A = this chain, B = another copy of it.
Amino acid sequence: MASTENGRLTVKMAAAILVTGGAGYVGSHTVATLLEQTKDNDIIVVDNLCNAYCSEGEKKPESLRIIEEITGKTIQFYNLDIRDYSGLSKIFENHNIDCVIHFAALKAVGESVEKPLEYYQANITGTCTLLEVMRKYGVYKLVYSSSCTVYGEPTKLPLDEGHPTGQGLTSPYGKSKYFCEELMKDVCISDQKWKIISLRYFNPVGAHHSGRIGEDPSGIPNNLMPYIAQVAVGRLKELLVFGKDYPTVDGTGVRDYIHVEDLAEGHVKAVKLFSQPGFSGFHAVNLGTGTGYSVLQMIAAFEAASGRPIPYRIVGRRAGDIAANYSDVGLSHRLLGWRAVKTLEDMCRDTWRWQSGNPEGFKKS
């Protein structure tokens, strides 16, 4: 729509949501959900493609190209590292950005131990630079991609948001998430214009119901579900189960797995919260189902969903692993009006649909 302001003709652009790291696993599913649910917002994605596949000659990563096909809508895409202050500024200059959902980060726990500086620069410097550019352009609404890792070893279960954070964290990845939460708290204290919602994910699994986008880890997967899926599809020979002597239902580690589409929905709810009168400051909110499943339960569920056997072998515990964690879901329900609705069957079925349809991930799909 066009209007005149100070005698000059200005074109009012639609309010846009900027998604950093929107080509990745959780980011792309959130972009898909945003496009399916919001009519009035342009969706802009910034991603440096360090962990997203892009076909040769294509300008957009495969995940976003497929989402455009599925939704029939267009995504504005910028191949950019968020640490590029002037490049990021230009995007804010050219769009009417209303809020930011910030996924861009490195996320492999093991790799972070080997490359701490790369992780701290990507995750902390990246977040600081994004916040500086947002402030420069008067954008003060941020949804942050955090993790239940910030809780360290649970002192009680379920984990609620009042549980201490930052104690006994063993990986640079986990510390970087904790440090970012702390710095965002400080930013909210320094200027009450800020509205920041830090979503602490439990264990995201599953894939888009279309079966056309999903998790596409490079190399050997770090997480259980993609590992199981790659065993089922024949890319990997067997699953190693780390420890069967934990004080859990069957001795194997228990985690709160959550369907990535539920998770995506949680981000949309968070964005909606920004328009609630009086909402301000820093808020950390768990996104989990509240139910934990053991490794053996996950294997059984995946075997049922896929009709394939999952050969596994019990080996020793892995350093840094905890016995169990699962989320208290009270705050996410009260504050966001959100609850996970997808079941373990849904998670396994959708993972299998994606994995069996795309055995090599995006590359050969």
Q: Tell me the A residues contacting B by CB distance below 8 Å.
A: 113-117, 120-121, 124-125, 128-129, 131-132, 135, 166-167, 172, 175, 179, 182-183, 186-187, 189-190
A113-B179 contact given A128-B120, A132-B121, CB 8 Å threshold: no
B117 touches A121 (CB 8 A): no
Judging by beta carbons under 8 Å apart, are B135 and A190 in contact? no
Q: Is the interface of A mostly helix, strand, loop or mixed?
A: helix
Q: What chain B residues lie within 8 Å of A129 (beta carbons)? A: 121
Q: Decide if A124 touches B131 in the complex (CB within 8 Å).
A: no
The answer to whether B113 and A131 touch across the interface, beta carbons within 8 angstroms, is no
Q: Which residues of B contact A115 (CB under 8 A)?
A: 190
> By the criterion CB–CB under 8 Å, are A120 and B116 in contact?
no
Q: How far apart are A187's CB and chain B's nearest CB, in angstroms?
A: 5
A115–B128 Cα gap in the complex (Å)?
A: 12
In this complex, the member of A116, A128, A179 whose beta carbon has the largest number of chain B beta carbons within 10 angstroms is A116
Q: Which of B113, B116, B120, B187 contacts A124 (CB 8 A)?
A: B120
Shortest distance in angstroms between A8's beta carbon and chain B's nearest beta carbon? Answer: 33
Q: How far is the CA of A186 from the CA of B110 in the complex (A)?
A: 12
- Contact of A186 (CB < 8 Å), options: B167, B172, B182, B190: B172
A318, chain B: closest CB distance, angstroms: 16
Query: Chain copies in the assembly?
Result: 2
Provide the residues of chain B in CB contact with A117, threshold 8 Å. 128, 131-132, 135, 183, 187
Assembly CA distance A179 to B117 (angstroms): 12
Residue pair A128, B125 in contact (C-beta under 8 Å):
yes
**In the complex, what's the smallest C-beta–C-beta distance from A202 to chain B, in angstroms?**
24
- Which chain B residue lies CB-closest to A132? B117
CB distance from A125 to the nearest CB of B (A): 4
Of all A-B residue pairs in the complex, the 5 with the closest CB atoms, nearest first, are A116-B186, A125-B125, A172-B186, A121-B128, A120-B183
Distance in Å: Cβ of A172 to nearest Cβ of chain B: 5
Q: List B contacts of A187 (CB < 8 A).
A: 116-117
A165 to chain B, nearest CB (A): 11
Residues on B with beta carbons closer than 8 Å to the beta carbon of A182: 175
Inside 8 A of A175's CB, which chain B residues have their CB?
179, 182-183, 186
A126 CB to closest chain B CB (Å) equals: 10
Give the docked Cα–Cα distance between A175 and B172 (Å).
Answer: 16
Bound complex: CA of A172 vs CA of B121, how far in Å? 18
> CA A83 – CA B132 in complex, angstroms?
16
Identify which of B113, B125, B132, B190 contacts A113 (C-beta below 8 A).
Answer: B190
Which chain B residue has the least Cβ–Cβ distance from A187? Answer: B116
Give Cα distance in the complex from A120 to B124, angstroms.
Answer: 9
Chain B neighbourhood of A120, CB < 8 A:
124, 128, 183, 186
Given contacts A124-B124, A125-B124, A125-B128, contact A116 B183 (CB under 8 A): yes
